[in-house]
Amino acid sequence: MLTDNQLKRYKRNILLPGVGTEGQEKLLKSRVLVVGAGGLGSPAAYYLAAAGVGHITLADSDKVDLSNLQRQILHRTGDIGRPKVISGSEKISALNPDIQVNTIEGLITADNVDQAVREHDLVVDCTDNFPVRYLLNAACVRLGKTMVFGGVLSFSGQLMTIIPGEGPCLRCLYRDEPSPSAPSCAEVGVLGAVAGIIGVLQCAEAVKYLLGLGQLLVGRLLTYDALSAAFFEIALERDPSCPDCFGV
């Protein structure tokens, strides 16, 4: 049962059709793994905490750098040199002491990915590390866990929700990992607000999934172009030759 303080904190959630106190209690019991505490993970994790998702795990191996602060809103100038998961968990806990914040300080690897994914209801993929992203995709498909994928570069971003068996996975869309020489944000830049937009949309998808509300971006790749201020949607299908979905 929600306390008086929780009823007040989450009042705007509780008023929403399909949420109510029952939905808010469900959020407080939910467990979400956010992989990446940077440009996407900052807004995604912050809004998940604000919404009252009761158990959030932040996973990241990096330390805060001055160049991060243009977009990574979980971190402050005084955090430079500190692990992102420590800096991020402090900000989340300060925002909402209701929730439990756990951290994984280090890379998600083949040795720990299954355990990390298995312990959560949902994975929000906010990493810019392609090997980790593909490990997460394979683990989520293998374990039947939903993943919300997001990516940004320059003035554009994209996201998709992956529910194993119901729609395409990341490898259905992008069969092979990008070459190490592929352009990255470190080389071509990224508008900080674009990371904010995509990260917040990832949070919206996560909350919808946890509450069983609305239409998810399953089989629908949503892209955003800041220069034209336009969203585009591409319909996708499962690839019958996808090695993650069909083991071929």
Q: Please give the tally of structural domains in the chain.
A: 1
Residue of 122, 150, 130 lying closest to 222 (CA atoms): 150
Backbone conformation region of residue 169, classed left if phi is above 0, alpha if psi is from -120 to 50, else beta: beta
Specify the pairing of strand 100-105 against strand 122-125: unpaired
pTM here is 0.96
Please report where in the chains the tokens 């591409």 appear, as a residue. Answer: 234
Q: Which domain holds residue 126?
A: 4-246
SS3 for 49-110, per residue?
HHHCCCEEEEEECCECCHHHHHCCCCCCHHHCCCEHHHHHHHHHHHHCCCCEEEEEECCCCC
**Which class for 205: exposed (0-12), middle (13-18), buried (19 or more C-beta within 10 A)?**
buried
H or E segment and range at residue 184: none
Mean pLDDT (10-residue bins), the chain, 248 residues: 97 97 98 98 98 98 97 98 98 96 96 97 96 97 98 97 97 87 80 97 98 98 98 96 87
Please report where in the chains the tokens 């592929």 appear, as a residue. Answer: 182
Q: Whole-angstrom Cα distance, residue 217 to residue 126? A: 16
Q: Say what the pLDDT of residue 185 is.
A: 79
Q: Say what the pLDDT of residue 163 is.
A: 98
Q: Say what the pLDDT of residue 186 is.
A: 79
Please report where in the chains the tokens 């399953």 appear, as a residue. Answer: 218
The total of other beta-carbon atoms located within 10 Å of residue 160's CB is 28
Residue of 248, 246, 238, 247 lying closest to 170 (CA atoms): 238
Q: Say what the pLDDT of residue 202 is.
A: 98
Q: Say what the pLDDT of residue 182 is.
A: 74
Chain center to CA of 140 = 13
Q: What is the CATH number of the domain that holds 108?
A: 3.40.50.720
